């Protein structure tokens, strides 16, 4: 697995209009390399649309997306090397946990022998190695979320995007995984050896 490298992300006057409705209106921000940024706002305020613009799934009406000062506004998603965890997790119901996590590696043409090690490392990081042969329907919501997180991390993305907060009572686990990955990035290690157990916190309401 390649060593992860942090990147700067910037938005410059990004807008997205659907007819007369402004889903995103002139948003500018900077996320320095190695930093976490949380977007807070009520339902319908444009958070998901903004993430989809950054990921390349939605074309902005105006403005630019930049990584390390390079303009990537019109670069297709598959060329951006961004990991994304979608609101509904978007797991393939007919694939096992292992094969769901393997999917982005298969698309990238990673040799099967290397892919197996990367997948085990990602599953170890999210504490799901024992469930590798299960299907999404056999998992809890929190476990499905961790599969989606492992799939987003397995190919060592340049930038990780997560749509919506950690749910299903596993907030502590999801946050721990991100900080654990951050520590390993600092150390320059790309595998997920020696993962500690996730701590489950009380589910949030409302």
Whether the pTM exceeds 0.75: the reply is no
pLDDT of residue 86: 84
Mean of pLDDT over the chain: 81
pLDDT of residue 168: 47
**Residue 28: pLDDT over 90:** yes
> What's the token pair of residue 142?
């929190």
Q: What is the pLDDT of residue 191?
A: 29
Average pLDDT for 47-68: 95
The 10s digit of each residue's pLDDT in 159-201 is 888 886 544 445 445 545 555 555 444 333 332 223 334 444 4
> Which one, of 154, 155, 160, lies nearest residue 85 by Cα?
160
The pLDDT of residue 151 is 94
Note the pLDDT of residue 188. 32
pLDDT score for 194: 30
Average pLDDT over residues 18-25: 95
Structure confidence by residue, pLDDT tens digits, 101-147: 999 998 888 888 889 999 999 999 899 999 999 999 999 988 998 99
Q: What is the structure's pLDDT at 27?
A: 96
pLDDT band at 202 (very low <50, low <70, confident <90, very high): very low
Residues 106 and 94: their CA atoms lie apart, in Å, by 16
pLDDT reading at 98 higher than 90: yes
Share of the chain above pLDDT 90, in %: 50
Specify the higher pLDDT residue, 97 or 193.
97
Over 80: is that where the pLDDT of 26 sits? Answer: yes
Residue 61 near residue 17, CB atoms below 8 Å: yes
């Amino acid at each position: 697995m390649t060593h992860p490298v942090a990147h700067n992300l910037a938005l410059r006057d990004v807008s997205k209009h659907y007819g007369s409705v402004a889903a995103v209106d002139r948003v500018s921000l900077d996320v320095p390399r190695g930093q976490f940024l949380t977007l807070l706002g009520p339902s319908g305020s444009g958070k998901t649309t903004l993430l989809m613009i950054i990921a390349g799934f939605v074309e902005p009406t105006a403005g630019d997306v930049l990584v390390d000062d390079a303009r990537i506004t019109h670069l297709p998603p598959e060329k951006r090397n961004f990991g994304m965890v979608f609101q509904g997790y978007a797991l393939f119901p007919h694939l096992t946990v292992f094969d769901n996590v393997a999917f982005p590696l298969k698309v990238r043409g990673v040799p099967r022998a290397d892919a197996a090690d990367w997948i085990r490392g990602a599953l170890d990081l999210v504490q799901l190695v024992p469930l590798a042969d299960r299907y999404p329907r056999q998992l809890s919501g929190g476990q499905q979320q961790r599969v989606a997180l492992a799939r987003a991390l397995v190919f060592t993305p340049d930038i990780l995007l997560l749509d919506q907060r950690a749910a299903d009572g596993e907030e502590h686990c999801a946050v721990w995984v991100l900080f654990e990955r951050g520590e390993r990035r600092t150390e320059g290690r790309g595998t997920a050896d020696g993962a500690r157990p996730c701590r489950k916190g009380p589910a949030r309401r409302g």
